[in-house]
Every structure is written in C-alpha cells, then in structure tokens.
Structure 1
C-alpha cells in the first residue's frame, strides 16, 4: 500500500476515493486552478535546472477546464503569471546564495507499522544545502495555510532517506509572499506514525463508499455528480468554442 501527502485529500471522502482510486473514473475536465498550478511548477523546475528565469509566455491550456462558479479564468492566469514573476524577481536571487541539492525529487521508502509494511512517497519541489543543513522548499500558488502536515511528512521522509537531522521545510506562497517553515525534530517520528495510522483508518472507512460531505467537497473533481456535495456550482469551459456549461 502506497501512502503519500496527496492521498489525504482523496481520503477525506470515501466516495471520492472509490471513484478516483478504485473505479478510476474520468472527470469532465481538470480544474483550471490546478492545471495552472502544475504549469507554474513545471516552469520553475525547468528554470532551476537550466539556470534561466521562468518563462512568462502564455500558458498552453487544455481544451476543457473546470472552474468554480466564483472563479474567472483570466484572473487565474494572471495570478499564475504573477507567481512566476515573483519567483523570478524575489526567489531566484535568494536561491543563488545556496547550493542546489535537487529539483522535483521523489522521496520513496518503506516503513513497518503495526505488523504491516507501507510504501511511502512524496515529491519535493526543491531542496537546497544551507549552512544549517538541507532545506526543502514547496511552492504554492495560493495560500500556505494547511501546509503543516505536508511539511512534516516531507521532513520525516527526508530523514528516513538521508538520516540527516539538520533538516527544515518551508512552504512558500508565490502569490502572497507568505511562508511557513518547520524544522525536523525526533518527536516528528511519533507524529508521523500516528498520521499514517489515521490514513490507514481512513482507507478502511473508504470501503463503505458513502459520501462524506464537508468543506473538502470544494476540491473534489466528482462533486458535481454527488447528491450530498457541499461544493459551489462548477463551470465547464470549452476553450475552443467558448461554450460554457454549468454542472451541479
């Protein structure tokens, strides 16, 4: 069984887990915000690998995109462009002070917990070597709120791979400039085991396949087809024809 930080979002609702991970159902289209966020991450990764500034060229978007009813695509594109500009103007000069350790590095390991062995994974956006040790950077195109568990997960994974105690992790919002930083401590290993147990427990609950509505519905790609969804109305946009359809 593979456990990762991103799985926790899917486990928030048994029905979503069943549709996405078991049945592998397709969604009408990807979220515009998530698509642009991925493109920003790819451009930053390419920038770090080549030593050039991140490209500000227009984004090559898929034909169909999902938007929340309150979202505007032009605003989302502008926020993504502003995030790249912030990276070029503020972050690159900071990173230039340190040795680049890795970019888009996949951490993988296994851990025995309560008689079972689990495969663990997570992708680090960037890691640098500072005088105080290895420093993980996680880029955000929105707020850094709710980054706490993800940063702790990365810190323990990095510790398990390198056995390096001088570790820190930081979530950086490229749209607001705010950040959240944590450092590794031995106590995190106990937190990590409890966090994994919670994920395993949630997986067991997902066998019920029943909807579990809540604030997480906002980010569920299947909310438009769920009778109990608490998500805002979705808009399906056809980039080629300009046609707009309302879902749910």
Structure 2
C-alpha cells in the first residue's frame, strides 16, 4: 500500500527536507546563529544585519557615532531648544525695558508734578474760555518755548483781571506761569493771535527733582532695553 506522505517517486508530498547547509543558512538569515567570519550575506538579507556599523554607515546614519549631529532640517537637540527659549525671553525683556518701563516712568513723573492729573487741561489758541474752581492752583502752559506768555491776560467771571506769576524754581520754564482763581466760574484767556496755550493744574515745583530722576531712569531703561533686545534678537535669529 503506497504511503499517503510520499509521491510515486518516493519524494515527500508536502515539503522537502533541507540539507544541513541550507538549514544553517536559514538559521543565520533568521538571526538564530551568528554568521561565520567572512561569510557573504544571505540572499535577501540586509547587508548590515548582525554586524557592528562600519565607517561607511556613519554617513547614512547621523546617530551611528556618539555625539553626531542630526542632519539639517531635523529636530533641534534639547540644548538648542533651551538656547532658543532663552533668546526669546531676552528679547521680551528688552522690549519691556525699551517700551513699557519708560512709559510708566514718564507717566509717573507727570502725575507727580501735576498732582496726579497729567491729562487735565484745556487747550486754547489765541483766546478762549475755561471753567476753574476757586482757590485751585492753576497754570498757563505754552506749547512753544518762545511763546509770549507775558502778553497773555486772564479775566475772571466778574471781569476782574487775574495776576499771573512765574513761581520760584521755574526759571528754566519760560513758557509757564501760574495763578490762583479767586472765584469759581468761567475765565477768559486772551493771548496774541496764533499763540497756543494750555490751561491746567499748576506744577509742584518741590517735586521737580524726583520727577527729573524718573525721567532719567526712563532714558536709561530705554537704552538698556535697546541693547538687551538686540542681543535677544541676534540669539533668536542665530538659533532659528
């Protein structure tokens, strides 16, 4: 009776027994056995399987050597990301010192000198009327250093003339005179045609010195911010 596992020629119906050489090659291809020294790679197998990377592999694999840098266009290493973040923080600090801090210091200086009302005041050209409270120290400011404030006159609600004066310590402010309204009401300011003036709160001359320091600090902050911002911008562009 013929065997169900053999064909008419006596060969296996469902497979073929591998020779010892073929079995060894299969085991090497599957990584079960290490290839013999100097043995050529098995057909279809990766030429780099089962061996340490050689000198030529370093060109294809940027991470084959310790400390190798990634190719251009790849992700930055953690150190590069940290340096870029530091550059951005430096740029932000520079912008704050250049813009925000000077604005705050200048606004504070004006508020200190003008009794906390740097925006209070009425602008007039030539002549006009302004409402003032009795006893509140007021001043007449000129928008031009050579404006003839000495030729300006102020008349009260009842038609009486109001005396103006240049307070002590205002010698360097020729475009500024102060006065005190004797009564509450509308005051008429008359100046030569075309003279632009502002009627507002009087300056506190005793606060000019600290206000001057604040202005100098604003100037120094702007210069420092310009330098720090430039350094931060260079770092961001270099790391980018």
TM range (shorter): under 0.3
Structure with larger RCO (C-alpha < 8 A, sep 6+):
2
Which protein has the larger Cα radius of gyration, Structure 1 or Structure 2?
A: 2
TM-score norm. by structure 1 comes to 0.21
TM-score norm. by structure 2 comes to 0.21
